[in-house]
Structure 1
Amino acid sequence: MADLQDMLDAHVRFELARWQGEALGATIVGEVDAAYRFLGTVTFAELLDPEAVAESAVAALCRLELDAAQLADVAVAAVDAARGYAQGSDATLADVVSHDRFTEVATAAIGLTGVRAEAIAQITTSEVYAKLMSHVLYQGIKNYLQSENPVAKKVPGAAALMRFGQNAVNAAAPKLEQGIDRQLTAFVASSVADTIKDSQAYLSRVLTPEVLGAVADEVWQTNSQQALTEVAGMVPPEQLEPLTRAAMAALLEARRTDVAEDAVRSMVTAYFATYGDVPVASMLTDAGLTAEAVAQLLAPAVAAALASPAAADYLAERIRARLGDFYASYAAAEPAG
């Protein structure tokens, strides 16, 4: 029994040494290389069952019980930290997104003709847009009658005289202007439907890819040199927190719907249909995750994680627990004497 205990202690020291000092890098490189050699011999479909992956993804993304309040607190803290960084940064939006990338995204968005048509239709049929058009028509007609009609333009001082006369009339008959306003308002109300229809057709006609491209370029020229601190200042912290909490609540609610589950299943199915016959290592390598890159990422991260005595003690404890079961079973199987 003493020999088994000595063997267990030696085995634990051997395993633990592989994760310490200079041996750690060699261990990670060796394990990653071995994994990639294996993954180069199997495809996604051979390694994983699509239906099982889909159900696991649904369980993790859609059905896992999460503490909404805790997640909201974490999100608020993260967003607040990002805002704090932006406020103290002298970087500009151009330092975050290059002009080429912005143009690429804008060009792709401009190409969504169906979305553009639907957006124009929904905007121009909204109640807010109708009120805006009514206001513009009313003010335009009223201003024209007061100052831009032929009499006011051709007769010197006529515009001022008309305004003086209007003021005099208002003083003598205050209800007269109200009556005129009611008639003008009624005229605008009866005309606004046709005006909105015309404006919808006009927007659809003039918002060509060339025009939208020019608008996108103007947006870039106007905002690209804006400092992040200015952008952060647009949203006060007291408004950012409720916005973040509302967004998290909406996200957590959406993930529990049947639509979310069906979407996850569809994505997994589509992925396997496209890449199921591709060797896993080839897919990872083509994406830039070569064995060397993965090892270089893991080595410092694992070293940092095991640098604390508490983490090292935990690793030793888990190694001993895993190996101890084997040695205990071996000892129990030995015949007595």
Structure 2
Amino acid sequence: MSELANELLELHVQHEMATLTPDNFLAWLSDETTPVLDALSHIPLNQLLSEEQLNQIIHDQVVSHPIPGAIAEIAGDAATFLFKSDPHLDSRLKDIMTAKQFQGFVSKILELETQRHQIIHQIIDLPVYRSLISNVVYKAITRYLYEDNMLSKHVPGVSSMLKMSRNVMNKAAPKISGAMEESVKTYISNNLSLFQQESKTYLMESLSSEDLESSIMDFWDEVEDKTLRELQEGMDSIDLSEFVVLGYEFWLEFRESDYFAHCYQSVVHFLYQRYGDEPLATLFEDLEITEETVIERAQRLAPQLLTTLSNSGLLEAVIRRRLASFYESDVFKHQLSA
């Protein structure tokens, strides 16, 4: 590069560095924001970026972009740090959500009556519910027979005699006692469908939305003053880290699913249906993107960022490399020699 080209490059670099001081940059941004936003506001969204291009960006950055394994480790360690911190442990549930907010969520969920009935049907049809109700009914029948029936309560000596008889049978004739218990279990098994149906009918007809809301809010009253230290008792940081890893592994598979693709593509399609042919001014207005918000964000970040880059020498090095390509170009040499 000629001596004159070097001198011009140096002057140009220093000019750009002077322009990129925090005060000068913010002044320049204030002058340029209005005309730039005004120009952009007249351009329709689909001319700036097509629906297909936005879908491809999401796919590249969210779906196919590799996620470092360290992300899960960092997230787990950060969660553990929060999990053990005193401000977290000493916070009460009502410091995080008010009773009014909680009740709002409960009320809205309870409005979904059809879904609530479906959940009741599905829960009661689960094998674990069949096992639960069988055990409860069995214990209730045997307890009634041996302890709580009217005869044993009101006739002196009957209760003791029944208990003694049961003990004698268990020792002397276990098969007889076992046969009786088996008979009770068989009766329960044969009537399980009836028990299940009665359970469904009772829950759907007897538990109104008001009853459920009252019960849930009673539960809230019991726990809202408890600290997170009390509520997370029995769960340690290892459990939390394992949940983070499970969430990370789930996301790796979920983001490649057809369902997730349908989700983001549907959202993008909706966005372009609403805003695609509209000038960007409409989107800016709905998202409250104004000249003031742009400048306010820049005032937060630019001074520290520009000062750090300048003091490190990185900013000048970037500017010098960028400008040098022009001063070394054949076009500049040709003009210089003309």
Output the CA distance in 1 between the equivalents of 2:108 and 2:43: 36
1:246-257 paired onto structure 2 within 5 Å: 246-257=246-257
Question: How far is 1:97 from its partner?
Answer: 2.0
Change (3 A) 1:29 1:240: same
How many residues align? The count is 336
Q: Determine the structure 2 residue equivalent to 1:197.
A: 197
Output the CA distance in 1 between the equivalents of 2:58 and 2:73: 25
Gaps of 5+ in 1: none
Whether the 8 Å CA contact 2:72–2:248 is kept in 1: the answer is yes
Whether the 8 Å CA contact 1:284–1:290 is kept in 2: the answer is yes
Question: How far is 1:184 from its partner?
Answer: 1.1
Whether the 8 Å CA contact 1:24–1:299 is kept in 2: the answer is no
1:227-266 paired onto structure 2 within 5 Å: 227-266=227-266
Change (3 A) 1:170 1:233: closer
Deviation per CA, 1:32-83: give whole Å up to 9, x if none.
Answer: 444433343234334321121122212222222333x223212212322331
Indicate whether 1:54 and 2:52 are aligned.
Answer: no
Deviation per CA, 1:191-250: give whole Å up to 9, x if none.
Answer: 112211221232222343222322332233222222133334442112222221112101
Whether the 8 Å CA contact 2:76–2:241 is kept in 1: the answer is yes
SS at match of 2:299: helix
Change (3 A) 1:233 1:150: closer
Q: Determine the structure 2 residue equivalent to 1:146.
A: 146
Whether the 8 Å CA contact 1:87–1:228 is kept in 2: the answer is no
Q: Determine the structure 1 residue equivalent to 2:42.
A: 41
Q: Determine the structure 2 residue equivalent to 1:64.
A: 65
RMSD over aligned Cα atoms:
2.6
SS at match of 2:90: coil
1:81-160 paired onto structure 2 within 5 Å: 81-85=81-85, 88-160=88-160
Comparing 276-285 and 315-324, the one that deviates more: 276-285
Question: How far is 1:30 from its partner?
Answer: 4.3
Output the CA distance in 2 between the equivalents of 1:226 and 1:211: 24
Q: Determine the structure 1 residue equivalent to 2:184.
A: 184
Change (3 A) 1:252 1:310: farther
SS at match of 2:193: helix
Letter in 2 for 1:56: I
Output the CA distance in 2 between the equivalents of 1:328 and 1:115: 71
Identity %: 23
Question: How far is 1:311 from its partner?
Answer: 7.1
Whether the 8 Å CA contact 1:18–1:24 is kept in 2: the answer is yes
Change (3 A) 1:36 1:168: same
SS at match of 2:85: helix
SS at match of 1:108: helix
Output the CA distance in 1 between the equivalents of 2:32 and 2:314: 21
Output the CA distance in 2 between the equivalents of 1:37 and 1:320: 32
Change (3 A) 1:162 1:17: farther
Change (3 A) 1:335 1:122: same
